[in-house]
Amino acid sequence: MATAEIDVPAEALPTLAQANDDISRPIYPPSWRYYLLLAICGIGILAGGTAWAIQIRNGIGMTGINNPVSWGVYIVTFVFWVGIAHSGTLISAVLYLVRSGWRTTINRAAEAMTIFAVMTAGLFPLIHLGRVWYFYYLVPYPSTRLLWPNFRSPLVWDMFAIGTYFTISLVFWYLGLIPDLAVLRDKFTGIKKKLYGAFSLGWTGSVRDWAHYRRLYLYLAGIATPLVLSVHSVVSWDFAMGIVPGWHSTIFAPYFVAGAIFSGIAMVITIMIPLRWAFGLEKYITKYHFDNMSKLLLFTSLIVGYAYAIEFFLAWWVNDPIEKESFGWRATGYYALPFWIMVFCNVVVPMSLWFKRTRNNLAALFVVTIFVNIGMWYERFVIIVTSLAHEFEPGGWGIYVPTTTEILIMIGSFAWFFFWFLLFSRTLPVISIAEVKEHLAHEHEHGH
Amino acid sequence: MTEEHSTLSADTSVVSAERALSTVHGRISGLAGLLWLAAFAIGVAGFAVALGSDPQRAWMNVWGNFLFWTALAQAGVIFAAVLVVAKGHWGKPFRRIAEATGAFLPFSLIIFLLMYFGAPEIFPWMKPGFEGHINRDWLTHDGVFIRNGILLAILFGASWYFLRLSLRPDAPMIAQKQTGWRKAMLERLSRGWRGDEEEAERARSILAWFAPVLIGLWVIIFSLLSFDLTMSLMPSFMSMIWGALYFVGGWLSMLAIVAFLAHRYKEHYSLEDVWGKWEFHDLGKLIFAFVIFWSYIWFSQFLPIWYGNIGRETQFFELRVDNGFKPLLWAQMTLIFFIPFALLLWRKPKMRSRHLAIVGVVILLGFWLERWMQVVPSVWKGEGPPLGWQELTIALGFLGLFGLSYSLYQSVMAKIPVQEALIIGERSRGP
């Protein structure tokens, strides 16, 4: 994991044929390690699923949520996963539009991550609901009983925002896969050939195919880009529309978006480092990619740090007793430890990325991103729980402690997410073969 | 030394040194200089007369204009810093145009210090009988001006140091074309030249850490400045996005003026390949993106305030829709968002420099109004929006001063980088 290890010398550049083989290799029968990881995820899902089943049987009293803290780990984890989902669109659409070439080898995995993260996030409103069989009340449909959802509720806005995001992300991901599916169709035989062939929609690689593909990809990138702003803005308004101290803030929308990109990029790096090692993709995911991702991580960390500082500073600046009490308690009260974990993980640790040595050392980078993942979960915990626990009236203050049920379901969500990712990595190319070959062709032509 | 320069630029720069040097004026054109001076003089005279009859009105106009031009001028230097950090090769043709706005910064600092004398007319918390939450440890008359004066001096000093580093590679070659004080200044700038390679290495290693530091200073100092100068105009009002609205607005104003000036230079110097349709297309896309982004953060401020419906927050919008200010609020949003969004949605308008320049002027008018609206409705107690000769003359004065400082700077330097490759490297090094 030394610095030199992640730099690829010019002479080591693979040929186009090698790229086909290297990237599609994980799709062939995997080793026992893969099944071991799958089994671990299975156990996690089983634990989480069992906890949820018991909660459904016994009721929402199995959780620690109470009055006044009526939103706990489930909503924390929901926001966390929606945040993770952000990197996919950012890397795929925004970086595509700004012609950042370094997205090439990481966009596929990031897009897949988006899909699975939204699928994971989507479970939590159902889990939090308690009586899950009434889930359809969330859906705005013309009910004959005239039970319309309240369209002025940000929770309904969430339904639309996340639904749109998921749909566009899925289409965008699938569109990018089409040329690669054709490569797999040509490599396999039998049922696999038929399946990959059906999903590749008769792709021939002709100039006409590419012209249509490029145009549609560009349009979808253009449609998807505003979603980077909209989705987490709407999630932030779940909180900011309330007048709860610590929630009601005008900075919440951009701050949540920046935080989401921050956590999303961290998760991409966390996943890409072992993936690169496990599938032997060192030639494709290089120092260049990790260096740029690290810089983006550092940049978003600074935005998040700015938002933390502004919240405290302005509470003091305006000298409002309620704001001052709310933020003072956040940093020194019952939940001071989560707060300082958040600050340490999200602001202090990423500062190490100013140094090239850290950015170019995969072991160090991996550790940094683990800290960020932890820190961003805690950030949502701090925002949601401390604000509810310490509102206006001292008589209404309370404490929330998560129960084993909630912790197990939260762990289960990670298992669920990685389970899908493992399945994906065995079924589809984790790197865009078409884009890598385009890049390699350019490199071979113009030199490294 | 000159030979080394020419060789290197021929190898690596997008534009040859000779063509870049053809944009060096060596003087301000007589008519333009006269017009800028006249505008400035009208502004000073208007301010002086207004000060005698209605000092509050005189000072609130200074407040609004100061906010507009300072944010724009500082953002020009930041544009160059962002290009360094992001390795933005696309922006090379616009870099010098943007940087030149930094020439206004020293004047900005002087105006800020003069605003000390107008503060009692503007800040409600300095008036007797003020009621509202305010931190008296932070907001004092002396405190606001000493603190922000020092911070602005640091920021402007850092900006000038950045410009020095950025311009140094061009200085030796331009000096040969200049005479008098301009030549002396350029020679001082290029004193101790160590040769292309060493200079390039030194400039890159310094800018690698200095450019992000400068951007960080800009964000922090402009946030603090906006809290003290404008947010404190409404008792107990607090909006956490306030700082970002200010500096992002300055950034967008700067992009708008760059589009306008690039179009003018393109016509004047017949350098269609330097400021070509693809370059304008890139700039247009950036402007479009920031039109959306600024409007997004504006909406992010509006929505929670409207939804929360708390008096100390809604006062911001109430002041801007009551007393006849509503049409101005709509005009502001139309000029900043609706018109640019509608026009820049399409590809061709972004590629046509004339079109983009018009959009730039629309955005500039919008932001001038927005800055004015940040101040005036909070301060003005008269009936209806104050729109008269005071507003016109003081705005003209600021325009004249900006025009003078900008023209003076541009009379010394080239409009496009002569040795850009020395600073941010060749295209192949970036994405």
Residues in chain B: 431
A168 in Cβ contact with A224 (< 8 Å) = yes
- Residues of B whose CB is below 8 A from A240: 303-304
For A152, nearest residue in chain B (alpha carbons): B307
**Domain count along chain A:** 1
Whole-angstrom CA distances from A317 to A245, B228, B239 are 15, 9, 11
Mean pLDDT of the residues in chain B? 90
B274 in Cβ contact with B416 (< 8 Å) = yes
A148 within a domain of the structure (yes/no): no
- Residues of A whose CB is below 8 A from B241: 250-251, 254
pLDDT of residue B20: 81
In angstroms, rounded to a whole number, what is the distance separating the alpha carbons of residues A297 and A292? 9
B405 in Cβ contact with B103 (< 8 Å) = yes
In angstroms, rounded to a whole number, what is the distance separating the alpha carbons of residues A130 and A126? 7
Is A307 within 8 Å of chain B by CB? Answer: yes
SS3 B253: helix
In angstroms, rounded to a whole number, what is the distance separating the alpha carbons of residues B221 and B155? 8
Nearest Cα of chain B lies from the Cα of A198 at a distance, in angstroms, of 35
Asked if A249's CB is within 8 angstroms of B304's CB, the reply is yes
Is B219 within 8 Å of chain A by CB? Answer: yes
Give which of A381, A104, A375, A109 is closest to A263, Cα–Cα: A375
B92 within a domain of the structure (yes/no): yes
Q: What is the rounded end-to-end Cα distance, in angstroms, of chain B?
A: 31
Burial of A10 (C-beta count, 10 Å sphere; 0-12/13-18/19+) = exposed
Tell me the CATH number at A116.
1.20.1630
Q: Is the pLDDT of residue B58 over 80?
A: yes
For A447, nearest residue in chain B (alpha carbons): B428
pLDDT digits (tens, 9 = 90+) for B66-113: 999 999 999 999 999 999 888 888 888 899 999 999 999 999 999 999
Q: Would you put residue A319 in left (φ > 0), alpha (ψ -120 to 50) or beta?
A: left
pLDDT of residue B160: 94
What ipTM was reported for this prediction?
0.90
- Residues of B whose CB is below 8 A from A302: 216
Greatest Cα-to-Cα distance within chain A, rounded to the nearest angstrom: 72
Please give the DSSP secondary-structure letter assigned to residue B429.
G
Question: At B427, is the pLDDT very low, low, confident or very high (cuts 50, 70, 90)?
Answer: very low
Q: What is the mean pLDDT of residues B321-341?
A: 96
List, in order, residues 6 or more apart from B105 with CB less than 8 Å away: B70, B73, B74, B77, B156, B159, B160
The continuous run of DSSP H or E covering B103 comes out as: none
Please give the DSSP secondary-structure letter assigned to residue B161.
H
Greatest Cα-to-Cα distance within chain B, rounded to the nearest angstrom: 70
A201 within a domain of the structure (yes/no): no
**Domain count along chain B:** 1
Is B236 within 8 Å of chain A by CB? Answer: yes
- Residues of B whose CB is below 8 A from A311: 240
**Beta-carbon neighbour count of residue A365 at 10 Å?**
26
In angstroms, rounded to a whole number, what is the distance separating the alpha carbons of residues B172 and B169? 7
Nearest Cα of chain B lies from the Cα of A90 at a distance, in angstroms, of 14
A14 within a domain of the structure (yes/no): no
SS3 B388: coil
In angstroms, rounded to a whole number, what is the distance separating the alpha carbons of residues A130 and A121? 16
Nearest Cα of chain B lies from the Cα of A302 at a distance, in angstroms, of 9
Is B292 within 8 Å of chain A by CB? Answer: yes
A182 within a domain of the structure (yes/no): no
Please give the DSSP secondary-structure letter assigned to residue B387.
-
A199 within a domain of the structure (yes/no): no
Place of tokens 């039109």: B291
A4 within a domain of the structure (yes/no): no
In angstroms, rounded to a whole number, what is the distance separating the alpha carbons of residues B409 and B405? 6
A168 within a domain of the structure (yes/no): no
Q: Residue A254 is nearest to which of B244, B305, B310, comparing CB atoms? A: B244
pTM metric for this prediction: 0.90
Asked if B303's CB is within 8 angstroms of A237's CB, the reply is yes
A165 in Cβ contact with A85 (< 8 Å) = yes
Question: At B358, is the pLDDT very low, low, confident or very high (cuts 50, 70, 90)?
Answer: very high
pLDDT digits (tens, 9 = 90+) for B170-187: 888 898 888 889 999 999
Q: Residue B300 is nearest to which of A101, A233, A318, comparing CB atoms? A: A233
pLDDT of residue A447: 57
One-letter amino acid at A117 equals A
SS3 for chain A is CCHHHHCCCHHHCCCHHHHHHHHHHHHCCCCHHHHHHHHHHHHHHHHHHHHHHHHHHHCHHHCCCCCCCCCCHHHHHHHHHHHHCHHHHHHHHHHHHCCCHHHCCCHHHHHHHHHHHHHHHCHHHHHHHCCHHHHHHHCCCCCCCCCCCCCCCHHHHHHHHHHHHHHHHHHHHHHHHHHHHHHHHHHCCHHHHHHHHHHCCCCCCCHHHHHHHHHHHHHHHHHHHHHHHHHHHHHHHHHHCCCCCCCCCCCHHHHHHHHHHHHHHHHHHHHHHHHHHHCCCCCCCCHHHHHHHHHHHHHHHHHHHHHHHHHHHHHHHHCCHHHHHHHHHHHHCCCHHHHHHHHHHHHHHHHHHHCHHHHCCHHHHHHHHHHHHHHHHHHHHHHHHHHHHCCCCHHHCCCCCCCHHHHHHHHHHHHHHHHHHHHHHHHCCCCCHHHHHHHHHHHHHHCC
pLDDT of residue A26: 66
**Beta-carbon neighbour count of residue A395 at 10 Å?**
6
Tokens at B271, concatenated: 């350098």
SS3 B62: helix
pLDDT of residue A315: 94
SS3 B396: helix
**Beta-carbon neighbour count of residue A120 at 10 Å?**
25
In angstroms, rounded to a whole number, what is the distance separating the alpha carbons of residues B259 and B281? 10
Is A324 within 8 Å of chain B by CB? Answer: no
A192 within a domain of the structure (yes/no): no
Is B53 within 8 Å of chain A by CB? Answer: no
For B292, nearest residue in chain A (alpha carbons): A226
The continuous run of DSSP H or E covering B50 comes out as: helix B30-53
One-letter amino acid at A104 equals T
Nearest Cα of chain B lies from the Cα of A172 at a distance, in angstroms, of 21
Q: Is the pLDDT of residue B405 over 90?
A: yes
Residues in chain A: 448
Is A333 within 8 Å of chain B by CB? Answer: no
Angle at B351 between CA B348 and CA B357, to 5 degrees: 110
Is B215 within 8 Å of chain A by CB? Answer: no
Question: Domain limits at B49?
Answer: 3-412
Is A319 within 8 Å of chain B by CB? Answer: yes
Q: Residue A318 is nearest to which of B236, B244, B308, comparing CB atoms? A: B236
In angstroms, rounded to a whole number, what is the distance separating the alpha carbons of residues A139 and B357? 47
B344 within a domain of the structure (yes/no): yes
Is B306 within 8 Å of chain A by CB? Answer: no
Asked if B308's CB is within 8 angstroms of A243's CB, the reply is yes
Tens of pLDDT along chain A (448 residues) come to 333 344 555 556 677 777 777 777 666 677 788 889 899 999 999 999 999 999 999 999 999 999 999 999 999 999 999 999 887 777 778 888 777 777 777 888 888 899 999 999 999 999 998 899 888 877 777 777 776 777 888 888 888 888 888 898 899 889 989 998 998 898 888 898 999 999 999 899 899 999 999 899 888 888 888 887 888 899 999 999 999 999 999 999 999 999 999 999 999 999 989 888 887 888 888 888 899 899 999 999 999 999 999 999 999 999 989 999 999 999 999 999 999 999 999 999 999 999 999 999 999 999 999 999 999 999 999 999 999 999 999 999 999 999 999 999 999 999 999 999 999 988 888 887 777 777 777 766 665 4
Is A320 within 8 Å of chain B by CB? Answer: yes
Question: Domain limits at A402?
Answer: 30-132+227-436
More confident residue, A380 or B12: A380
Tokens at A7, concatenated: 């730099």
Give which of A291, A258, A275, A265 is closest to A379, Cα–Cα: A258
Mutual angle of helices A107-121 and A154-187, in 10-degree steps = 140
- Residues of B whose CB is below 8 A from A226: 292
Give which of B427, B81, B430 is closest to B254, Cα–Cα: B81
Give which of B127, B119, B128 is closest to B149, Cα–Cα: B119
Burial of B140 (C-beta count, 10 Å sphere; 0-12/13-18/19+) = middle
Q: DSSP E strands: which ranges in B283-350?
A: none
Q: What is the CA radius of gyration of chain A?
A: 23
SS3 B230: coil
